[in-house]
């Protein structure tokens, strides 16, 4: 799965990671009984040669996305390795998360999964969920007291990066179907931004990839616009009114009462 992730990045014109990365990283849980924390992470040993990933992935969709996310962070470090040590970091903590997540938005499209031979048909089966499924403490970062604001910010940036890279790839809308695989123009912009490390302000790094120096949540709205349209039509058909002051639900089947307008800053993974 990590080789597939590297193939995505090299299709954009990025350099392959070095041999030391592949020999020293841990991709799967050791089979010899060695005990280790399986919390995934990336490491830059600051010598411009030693880069490693540690993870315990299995063959499934979530870990396939995780592999691309981690390789995004690893490629970020690999591209700013020529900066002075003090600048070998993301433009801000959110940028590292945003790069990997932006790539994942392309990887998870049906178009790309078909290309990879991983998707034969699309299943839209409903999944039952209740309030019991919302468990913040199940998130490692929460119980480990790791600042989470970077992921909130990064989650907004990933859609902004994704939209900018899609425009450079000359991909037509809708945004949620965009797959930048193979686009050297998108790759060049990504490389330019990552090579800066933290040697420039995050606003300047933002401009290198998006052409602007401010955070914009509009790409999130654009990405989920088809879902918003569906929600509005479904609520109208059911006679439901979304909002914080609505506490009555009709008898019988539970209807979905929700509006995407409340979502833009809530998609944190």
Strand intervals (E) in 142-206: none
* The two three-digit tokens of residue 41, written as one number: 């992470």
- Dihedral of alpha carbons 114, 225, 185, 154, sign: negative
Q: How far is CA 144 from CA 51, 62, 102, 137, in A?
A: 24, 21, 25, 10
DSSP state letters, 210-245: HSSSS---HHHHHHTHHHHHHHHHHHHHHT---STT
Q: Is 73 among the annotated ligand-binding positions?
A: no
> Is 126 exposed, middle or buried (CB count within 10 Å of its CB: 0-12, 13-18, 19+)?
exposed
Q: What angle do CA 78, 193, 114 make, to 5 degrees?
A: 75
What does DSSP assign to residue 257? Answer: -
* Backbone φ and ψ of 268, nearest 5°: -115, 125
* The two three-digit tokens of residue 107, written as one number: 């990887």
Tell me the binding residues: 150
Binding-site residues for chloride sit at 150
């Amino acid at each position: 799965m990590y080789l597939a992730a590297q193939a995505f990045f090299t299709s954009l014109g990025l350099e392959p990671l070095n041999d030391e990365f592949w020999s020293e990283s841990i991709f799967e849980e050791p089979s010899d009984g060695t005990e280790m924390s399986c919390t995934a992470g990336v490491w830059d040993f600051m010598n411009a040669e030693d880069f490693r990933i540690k993870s315990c992935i299995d063959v499934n969709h979530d870990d396939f996305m995780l592999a691309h996310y981690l390789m995004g962070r690893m490629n970020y470090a690999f591209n700013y390795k020529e900066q002075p040590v003090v600048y070998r970091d993301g433009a801000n903590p959110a940028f590292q998360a945003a790069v990997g997540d932006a790539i994942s938005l392309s990887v998870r499209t049906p178009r790309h999964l078909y290309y990879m031979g991983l998707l034969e048909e699309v299943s839209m089966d409903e999944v039952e969920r209740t309030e019991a499924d919302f468990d913040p403490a199940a998130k490692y970062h929460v119980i480990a007291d790791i600042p989470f604001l970077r992921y909130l910010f990064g989650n907004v940036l990933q859609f902004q990066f994704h939209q900018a890279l899609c425009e450079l790839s000359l991909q037509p809308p809708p945004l949620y179907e965009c797959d930048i695989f193979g686009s050297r123009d998108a790759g060049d912009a990504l490389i330019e931004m990552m090579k800066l490390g933290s040697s420039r302000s995050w606003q300047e790094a933002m401009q290198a990839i998006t052409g602007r120096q401010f955070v914009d949540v509009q790409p999130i709205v654009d990405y989920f616009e088809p879902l918003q349209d569906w929600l509005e039509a479904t609520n109208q058909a059911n006679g439901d009114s979304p909002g914080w002051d609505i506490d009555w639900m009709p008898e019988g089947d539970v209807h979905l009462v929700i509006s995407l307008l409340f979502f833009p800053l809530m998609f944190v993974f």
